[in-house]
Amino acid sequence: MVNMERSPRLSRINVVFLTVLAMIAFAGNSILCRIALKHTAIDAASFTSIRLMSGALVLWAITMLFGRERIGRGNWISAFALFVYAAGFSFSYISLTAATGALLLFGTVQVAMIGHGLWGGEKLRLQQLTGLVIAFAGLVGLLLPGLSAPPLVGSVLMMIAGVAWAVYTLRGKGAGDPTRVTAGNFRRASLFAAILSLLFISNTNLDTVGVWYAIASGALTSGLGYAVWYSVVPALKSTNAATVQLSVPVIAALGGIVLLSELVTMRFVLASIATLGGIALVILSKPRSNN
């Protein structure tokens, strides 16, 4: 991990490399979860618990090694939002493809955060408003009934996960060192996940391969992925940091095609162009700042 205090001095090559690595990790969460729930017998509740617990352990180790002097603990409300995101994410991937899930997740996150800004009195220019309408239309178009429409229950669960992640992100602003805060929230969220596993204990199936996928999702693509991302964020402009995350559904789609032999429908392509393009229009149309 790169020391966050030095990240603004990272070379351009290192910034690009770490940013790409973080985006691959975020997309990897979708791919690992989908592989585990499609090709192994592990249940979604167990996957959620193992992911959060292994992520908590890795993030705790990182903070002990690199961030003892930093401030940040997390809190129970944010931890619950993190748990809702992780649980909705896992259960939705019982039926959704990796690409569709990633598009719904990141599309919902961005739309929810933009909506929060509007609720707080933020004014959108015509170009931004147009982008928001296009993005929302893209999500609606993806979910309209039809032969190629994704399963409704899985789609709703992923959108709930997206709203929860937006809440988690908004609550995390100014809460302290992001890695330490995330470590604390992962630890607390693990307790909620343990309760979930108890509620679904009759469906528990700790498939060995599935467990390893869950550990990889928590330790690598979640724990290390978030640590890498937080190390490079200070070196990025806020608009760049927001825009680059729109690449995640595209990476997930490619991973789904290569690793899961998933088919990408024309509906998905058009919805992706509308959703990601509309969000990009909103983000890139914001007045420039110095951060």
pLDDT of amino acid 287: 57
Give dist(CA 221, CA 25) in Å, integer.
Answer: 4
CA dist list (Å): 79 to 73, 106, 176? 11, 19, 15
Q: Given phi > 0 = left and psi -120 to 50 = alpha, else beta, which region is 171?
A: alpha
State yes or no: pLDDT of 286 exceeds 70. no
DSSP string, 28-83: HHHHHHHHHHHHS---HHHHHHHHHHHHHHHHHHHHHHH-TT------HHHHHHHH
Residue ranges of the domains in the chain?
10-284
Give dist(CA 227, CA 36) in Å, integer.
Answer: 24
State yes or no: pLDDT of 227 exceeds 60. yes
State yes or no: pLDDT of 291 exceeds 60. no
Residues 80 and 191: beta-carbon distance below 8 Å: no
Give dist(CA 257, CA 278) in Å, integer.
Answer: 24
pLDDT of amino acid 1: 33
CA dist list (Å): 146 to 22, 96, 135? 35, 15, 20
In the chain, % of residues over pLDDT 90: 50
Poorest-confidence range of 10-14, 54-58, 214-218?
Answer: 10-14
E strands present in the chain? none
pLDDT of amino acid 230: 85
**57 confidence band (pLDDT: 50, 70, 90):** very high
State yes or no: pLDDT of 6 exceeds 50. no
Structure tokens at 252: 């997930």
pLDDT tens-place string over residues 130-159: 888 898 898 888 888 776 778 999 999 999
Per-position b or e across 124-135, b if 16+ CB within 10 A of its CB: beeebeebbebb
- Rounded mean pLDDT of 16-31? 93
pLDDT of amino acid 26: 93
Q: How far is CA 2 from the centre of its chain?
A: 21
Structure tokens at 102: 């990633």
Indicate the residue type of 61: A
- Rounded mean pLDDT of 79-84? 97
Task: Identify the CA nearest to 47 among candidates 59, 29, 60, 61.
Answer: 29
For 148, the 3-state DSSP assignment is coil
Per-position b or e across 260-284, b if 16+ CB within 10 A of its CB: bebeebebbeebbebbbebbbbbbe
The single-letter DSSP state of residue 219 is I
pLDDT of amino acid 114: 83
State yes or no: pLDDT of 288 exceeds 60. no
pLDDT tens-place string over residues 154-196: 999 999 999 999 999 888 776 678 888 899 999 999 999 999 9
pLDDT of amino acid 184: 92
Residues 134 and 277: beta-carbon distance below 8 Å: yes
Give dist(CA 80, CA 127) in Å, integer.
Answer: 35
